[in-house]
Structure 1
């Protein structure tokens, strides 16, 4: 199975959804090739921290600070139920462009750790509250997964894969992608599109039905 998903490293629902989907895949013992596609929620952010997540969500979504804070609390509680010790309140919100460039590079050159680097960036951002725009942080993540530090640093210090990230984001606009996460599950005969962070059991049932050829009578959109 090929799973292509549009997500962003600043999107907590993308982290929660991918965690649930990965657990569902593990339980069904399906062999999967993963590909992450970029969808930057805050494309104008810089590489240095620019205020709290509550302030950013007040600006971006027009919420009051109180409601924005409540939503952050709710997200942390949902993540905790799934075993993720998320510290969303203290996230160092920065550009996710470098992180997406790293993922594109790893998926193309070192696919065997492609999904692992995605999870490690999410953990660095939402659990460890590191600055994921920082090249040193990304190099450390990649080297911890066994990749060559000099190779990764050289790539990140240039503009490699910036164009590829931009193309993917333009493709999302053409396709009408308006929110994330969004998952495309492909087998040799069927395709299933799942918008949003399903519960793990719902993901598992959808995967089972897709593999058994029983998905055509159901809708998950």
Structure 2
């Protein structure tokens, strides 16, 4: 079974959804699954926000108070904790995910897409790494198993894998993706959002019939 996942590194529910899916897949040890990560940007206009924390950034974007923003993030932290993830929004560095997506496409070419996604998610949500920083991206790419020079080339040449990212986003629009995470199973079934494990299990069972 092939599972395509539209996702954005900056999306907290995408990391949660990844864990939910992985838990569901563990219930099918005798089946083979091919996972393909697809690019999606929740906000392609984001620019690095020097000195601005995520609480203030979201408050300004949504027209709410910083306290309301903190409460929203607190709920996400609890949701993440329920699937074994440790989110640390106090350390999060606001980033535009485009370069990360291009590096993920490099990783996909090397059959390391899932590894790269996991490392980027953890770096952003747990470790507070700056995904705007070239040296950080190179380090994380190497951690996933990529060649440092190839990662550096992707960072410096902004056209590399750009068409792949745009192609994924265009495809998402064509099939009606409104938000992420969005999971497509063998182009027959879809799960939208970080749904409970049971929702993934039932969808996989249907797809395997």
Considering the TM-score relative to the shorter chain, is it more than 0.5?
Answer: yes
Residues 75/115 of structure 1: CA separation in 2 closer, same or farther (3 Å cut): same
Q: Matched residues in 2 for 1:126 and 1:21: separation?
A: 18
Please say if residues 88 and 125 of structure 2, whose CA atoms lie closer than 8 Å, have aligned partners that are also in contact.
yes
Aligned to 2:122: 123
TM-score (norm 1): 0.86
Aligned to 1:146: 145
* Structure 2 unaligned spans of 5+: none
RMSD (Å), alpha carbons: 1.8
Aligned to 1:218: none
1:182-216 Cα deviation digits (max 9, x unpaired) = 11011xxx7111111111233223212321x2xxx
1:55-81 Cα deviation digits (max 9, x unpaired) = 222233333322211110010011111
* Structure 1 unaligned spans of 5+: 214-221
Q: Secondary structure at the match of 1:76?
A: helix
Aligned to 2:70: 69
Residue 47 of structure 1, CA deviation: 4.7
TM-score (norm 2): 0.90
Aligned length: 207
The range that moved more, 2-11 or 56-65, is: 56-65
Aligned to 2:200: 203
- Given the alignment of the two structures, is residue 155 of structure 1 paired with residue 151 of structure 2, yes or no? no
Aligned to 1:84: 85
